[in-house]
Amino acid sequence: MRRKIRRIPFFVAAATLLVSVLSSADDDVIRIGEINAYKALPALTVPYRKGWELAQEEINAQGGVLGKRLETVFRDSNANAGEAVRAAQELVTLEKVDMLAGVTFSHVGLAVSDFARHRKVFFLASGPFSDAIIWSKHNRYTYRLRAGTYAMVAAVIDDAVALNKKRWALVYPNYEYGQVAAETFKREMKKRQPDVEFVIEQAPPYGKVDAGLMVQALEDARPDAIFNVLFGADLTRFLREGHNRGLFENREVVSLMSGEPEYSDSLKGDAPKNWIVTGYPYYSLDMPEHQDFIEKYRAKYDDYPRMNSVVAYATVKALAAGIEKAGSTDAEDLVEAFKGLEFSTPFGVERFSPVDNQSSMGVIVGRSDLKDGRGYMKTWKYLNGDAISPPLEERKALVAGD
């Protein structure tokens, strides 16, 4: 009697083999799902991705993490919270990533953080400034790398108070980051200089600055000094109109992020002169870790890094350190491993606080100037993030329950 041979259709066998191969390959890979505003913020995200890929290649060349190669699946949020959450869902469900990372816009960061909380997925937020991520909307699955709005403002307060100017104008984009920065500045200035006055506030929607009307309103208010939070194209319009009308002559300006190459380079001769700014003077930072970073970056890209290159590079380094400490990619293990985790950055060794999941990566503040038709920071100092954050007990009180 002849035995019947069960024939398996070719496409079924091929699919089974493919799944087997992919499964085997995946055993040797740690997959990171990265979400950012690639189309909306190319001046930031192009150097960001370069910094990310530099760190990932460096780690993989050294044997990876836990003997596995890092691999990143990038997705664009289009600066939209809903699209970011859909991307996160796809990354977790279809791409089977082990963790999430990235984000620049605050509202997008909050949305992805909430997704991470509900899905119990580890999320390292690279750069959203909203402090709600670590305080009022804190959750145990979300950590943040870059200093937030409070720390950015705190970095410039000493210098602002030292100006001894009474009448201040405030200029900021009308969404959470700008609103919170302005409110924090007013509150902290009132504490230090009780007689200070805020004579005018200009808060246009992000991306819709009418520079002519704004500068005229500021001139009419006759402030002694200006606190500015505008960035990108809004800052460019404001600066050019302000220069044309002499708004900044004999008037002090304190401005967040205006010393970062992402913004100052594109301004060229319109870059701010003698403003107090936060920024990234890559050309003069003397930390050994930064010297090593900039040499590798230039060798790979024949270009200089921007602030977001540093942020991305440090994010990947932090993820690698956390996975190594956890001994796995399990979300619960990562949550515990990141408490107090130390990791390397181009600014030195930094640490995540077990109180609010914020890293100690700090802010560089100094005076801006022009040289060879380009903006740069002629003086600077690095302020560690812990030094410009609220006191520890206050941070504990700010953190919402998990």
* Residue-level pLDDT at 175: 87
Q: Given 3.40.50.2300, 3.30.300.20, 3.40.50.11740, 3.40.50.150, which CATH number is that of 150-284+364-388?
A: 3.40.50.2300
More confident residue, 401 or 288: 288
For 198, the token pair is 């805020």
Strand ranges in 320-393 using DSSP code E only, listed in sequence order? 342-345, 348-351, 363-371, 374-377, 381-383
- CATH-assigned architecture of domain 12-147+286-361: 3-Layer(aba) Sandwich (3.40)
pLDDT in tens, 244-264: 999 999 999 999 999 999 988
* Residue-level pLDDT at 341: 98
For 76, the token pair is 């664009």
* Residue-level pLDDT at 26: 61
How far is C-alpha 148 from the chain's CA centre? 8
pLDDT in tens, 205-237: 988 999 999 999 999 999 999 999 999 889 999
Cβ atoms within 10 A of the Cβ of 219, count?
Answer: 15
- Asked if residue 47 has pLDDT above 50, the reply is yes
The average pLDDT across 320-332 equals: 98
- Asked if residue 81 has pLDDT above 90, the reply is yes
Q: Which residues, 6+ apart, have CB-to-CB distance to 255 below 8 Å?
A: 226, 227, 228, 229, 272, 275, 276, 277, 278
pLDDT in tens, 87-118: 999 999 999 999 999 999 999 999 999 999 99
The average pLDDT across 2-7 equals: 44
- Asked if residue 14 has pLDDT above 50, the reply is no
268 confidence band (pLDDT: 50, 70, 90): confident
Selection from 207, 227, 212 nearest residue 40 by Cα: 207
pLDDT in tens, 353-380: 999 999 999 999 999 999 888 899 999 9
The average pLDDT across 312-339 equals: 98
The average pLDDT across 52-59 equals: 98
* Residue-level pLDDT at 402: 64
* Residue-level pLDDT at 108: 96
Selection from 273, 286, 287, 257 nearest residue 364 by Cα: 257
For the chain, which residues make up each domain, given as ranges?
A: 12-147+286-361, 150-284+364-388
Q: In terms of residues, how long is the chain?
A: 402
Fold: same for 12-147+286-361 and 150-284+364-388: yes
Read off the pTM: 0.91
* Residue-level pLDDT at 259: 95
- Asked if residue 273 has pLDDT above 50, the reply is yes
Q: How far apart are CA 365 and CA 297, in angstroms?
A: 23
The average pLDDT across 9-36 equals: 62
269: DSSP letter: G
The average pLDDT across 147-174 equals: 97
Long-range contact list for 377-383, CB < 8 A, 24+ apart? 377/259, 377/277, 377/279, 377/281, 377/284, 380/259, 380/279, 380/281, 380/284, 382/285, 382/287, 382/347, 383/155
- Asked if residue 299 has pLDDT above 70, the reply is yes
Contact 397, 304 (CB under 8 A): no
CB burial readout 372-393, b (16+ within 10 A) else e: eeebbbbebebbbbbebbbeee
Q: Are strands 225-228 and 167-171 parallel, antiparallel or unpaired?
A: parallel
- Mean residue pLDDT of the chain comes to 92
267 confidence band (pLDDT: 50, 70, 90): confident
* Residue-level pLDDT at 18: 42
* Residue-level pLDDT at 252: 97
The average pLDDT across 14-27 equals: 46
For 365, the token pair is 């503040």
